[in-house]
Amino acid sequence: MARSLHLLLVTLSVVLLLSGPAAAQGFGSRLLRTFFVFAEQPLSSSVAEANGWSRLSSTCDPDVGYAYAQSPSGPTSLSPVTLYYTAAGQLSGFGVRVSGKIEQNLVNHGFWRRVAGQSDTYDIYIRTRDAKFMCSGAKSLDVIGDRLEINSFFTVPLNQSVAVKQGWAPGNCIGRMGIHHSFDLAAFGGNSWNASTLVPVQPMYDAQRHTINAILFNMPHAEYTEPIGMFEGPFTNGLFCKNWCADSGCTFDIGFHLWSTMHFHFVDPSTISCTGSPCVL
């Protein structure tokens, strides 16, 4: 009897340990915006509201929850970030709004969504939780989520080996970022250096742990950059190509133009390793 009770208590302890907060981190525990700035983004709707973010609609979107922006009218050129939260108040996604030329092929494939009533203005977001959490009021144990899905349909793998198997081409490892990967709609596992087929989200993985550290949104035009706006850049083709290895042959087929990016980190940038990466910037 005593032995049976002891085994039961041990089993319960293990279950509680595995289901507790320490074990329920998903793929990260932070959301930091813009490289070098690393601005902490609120992980709950209550903290967002306390810091001046505004809910944009009283209606819950079953795909991604409630949208919040730093302006009551929505994201702007200077404050382009949208954060999303579930009905229970947990972070459920994040995204950006851009104003400028976007490749029509990427719009056709659903990566950029044209904003109604606005010329050359587009949204993109990444969902971090299952749709069942969005409007139900249920809570997840994961701090920021357990998935990364571009506009709720295109999966970004959380593990580097899975990413490579699914066609994401590895590139340069950059300090405090990780090994960059890219997905080309016209060159599975490779690159055609065509801006119209480059998926506008690039994940970065730790060279030692092979887990995801961050993602960046990319767009082939100049946006308002820090310290005036929130984007990084602007980058020439040559500078943007630093995301790939020096021998990759990186170039782009649309002539001279400028790129903008915005990074979002899920871990402390100082913990990211490039040790063992085939190429390091």
Please say if the pLDDT value at position 230 is more than 80.
Answer: yes
pLDDT for 132-171, tens place per residue? 999 999 999 999 999 999 999 999 999 999 999 999 999 9
pLDDT for 32-70, tens place per residue? 999 999 999 999 999 999 999 999 999 999 999 999 999
Please say if the pLDDT value at position 192 is more than 80.
Answer: yes
How far apart CA 243 and CA 181 sit, in angstroms, is 8
How far apart CA 224 and CA 93 sit, in angstroms, is 22
Let me know: does 31 contact 41? Beta carbons within 8 Å.
yes
Comparing 25 with 73, which gets the higher pLDDT?
73
Please say if the pLDDT value at position 16 is more than 80.
Answer: no
Domain boundaries, the chain: 32-271
Given pLDDT bands bounded at 50, 70 and 90, which one contains residue 254?
A: low
Comparing 11 with 211, which gets the higher pLDDT?
211
- pLDDT for the residue numbered 256: 66
How far apart CA 35 and CA 14 sit, in angstroms, is 39
Question: What value does the mean pLDDT take over residues 231-246?
Answer: 96
Please say if the pLDDT value at position 2 is more than 50.
Answer: no
What is the average pLDDT score of the chain? 92
pLDDT for 209-223, tens place per residue? 999 999 999 999 999
Percent of the chain exceeding pLDDT 70 equals: 90
How far apart CA 59 and CA 135 sit, in angstroms, is 9
Question: What value does the mean pLDDT take over residues 16-39?
Answer: 73
Q: Which helix (H) or strand (E) holds 108?
A: helix 104-108
How far apart CA 278 and CA 80 sit, in angstroms, is 35
- pLDDT for the residue numbered 14: 36
- pLDDT for the residue numbered 119: 87
- pLDDT for the residue numbered 20: 41
Two tokens, residue 14? 């293990």
Angle at 196 between CA 83 and CA 162, to 5 degrees: 65
Question: What value does the mean pLDDT take over residues 70-95?
Answer: 98
Given pLDDT bands bounded at 50, 70 and 90, which one contains residue 8?
A: very low
- pLDDT for the residue numbered 173: 99
Backbone angles phi, psi at 270, to 5 degrees: -70, -15
- pLDDT for the residue numbered 252: 85
Percent of the chain exceeding pLDDT 90 equals: 88
- pLDDT for the residue numbered 38: 98
Q: Which helix (H) or strand (E) holds 32?
A: strand 32-33
pLDDT for 87-117, tens place per residue? 999 999 999 999 998 999 999 999 999 999 9
Please say if the pLDDT value at position 17 is more than 90.
Answer: no
